[in-house]
Amino acid sequence: MGKVMLYGGIDIGSLTAQAVLIDGKRQFSSVHNSSLFLAKSIPVKPNPVDSAKAVMEEIFRENGLEWKDLNYCISTGYGREKIVEEGMANENVSEISCHATGAFSLDPDVRTVIDIGGQDAKVIRIDESGNLVNFVMNDKCAAGTGRFLEVMSRTLGVSLEDLGGVALKARGRVDLSARCSIFAETEVLHFLQRGIDVGSLAAGICRSMAERVMALVRRVGVEKEVMMTGGVAKNVAVKRELERMIGTRMVDSKIDSQLVGAYGAAVLAMKSGRSV
């Protein structure tokens, strides 16, 4: 691999843990002109510290690296303070800043970031320098988060990964009236018992999800370009509905959408590590 200056980002989510390593020997603004980009994602363990240790050691093992090869590391997500206390990261930074930095580093034209994870949703506005302008967050209710889609896909008997594709292929759509995820699940079960097809229900579920997120977008305001990050960005139907509601095509993150937070943490680690 040769001599590198490794900087790391660790992002512990509700369902998966991500680690990203970048080579800071060269100044870069996107993953495509960095000289090294390594990434790993694993299912989370019960303890965030154990998740951080496991994902970092997997990425080290797969690439012939060790902890001592890491110049500087930033943690974000669940338990980020504990990860620093355990000596696996030098400092911790909020998910808001990491997703903003990650999105802007991947595409400097981005001004609005929509990050939807397993247990929360965030809409972030940044300026032409990538600095935070405003944000709003939903972490009080499962509706509008990946958890909602997880419950709904299980109710339909469709895998979470396939839900968006099933929705796009549907010939119709059944709109849900329930605003709460618990009542929505009951409503979907009722429709299934009436013989409503799974595709129409999947389309309604994805529309409902997009409407909840759009309520957050309106509170912050939207400015082009827009990037969607987090696991729900992989749901093609939710993404398409949001694009229709916003009135613009979202820019591609260029990397796995679930890695953007960890990538942003690694970029911030590079900036912090160089000033130490």
What's the whole-model pTM score? 0.91
Domain count within the chain: 2
Helix (H) or strand (E) holding 91: strand 91-92
Q: Is residue 197 part of a domain?
A: yes
CA–CA–CA angle 137, 143, 146 (5° rounding): 80
**Residue 64 burial (CB < 10 Å; 0-12/13-18/19+)?**
exposed
* CATH number, position 152: 3.30.420.40
Same domain for 242 and 178? yes
Distance CA 263, CA 78 (A): 16
Centre a 10 Å sphere on the Cβ of residue 221 and count the other Cβ atoms it contains: 12
Portion of the chain with pLDDT greater than 90, in percent: 79
User: What is the tens place of the pLDDT at every residue in 66-93?
Assistant: 999 999 999 999 999 999 999 999 999 9
Question: CB under 8 Å to 211, separation ≥6 — which residues?
Answer: 241, 245
Q: Can you tell me the mean pLDDT for 180-206?
A: 90
The reply to whether 269 and 203 lie within a common domain is no
In a domain, 166, yes or no: yes
Do 152 and 183 have their domain in common? yes
Give the model's pLDDT for residue 177.
Answer: 81
With bands split at pLDDT 50, 70 and 90, how would you rate the model's confidence at 186?
confident
Give me the DSSP letters along 225-242.
Answer: SEEEESGGGG-HHHHHHH
Return the pLDDT at 28: 43
| Range with the poorest average pLDDT among 77-86, 129-138, 144-153, 236-245 | 144-153
Task: Identify residue 143 by its one-letter amino acid code.
Answer: A
Higher pLDDT, 157 or 146: 157
Residues 115 and 244 in one domain: yes
**Nearest CA-CA partner of 231 in 41, 69, 61, 66:** 41
Quick one: 83 and 184 in the same domain? no
pLDDT at residue 276 in the model: 54
Within-domain flag for 93: yes
Is residue 1, in this structure, part of any structural domain at all? no
Clarify whether residues 70 and 151 are in a common domain: no
List pLDDT tens digits, range 254-274.
999 999 999 999 999 999 876
Say which residue, 275 or 222, is predicted with more confidence.
222
Please indicate, yes or no, whether residues 117 and 235 belong to a single structural domain of this protein: yes
Indicate whether 24 and 133 sit together in one domain: no
CA 268 to chain centre: 17
- Does 267 lie in the same domain as 242? no
11-66 pLDDT, tens digit per residue, is: 999 889 999 999 876 544 444 444 468 999 999 999 999 999 999 999 999 999 99
pLDDT at 140: 66
Round to whole Å and give the CA distance between 184 and 174.
12
* SS3 category, 21: strand
Residue at 267 is within a domain: yes
Instruction: Mark whether 87 and 115 lie in a shared domain.
Output: no
Domain that holds residue 215: 109-252
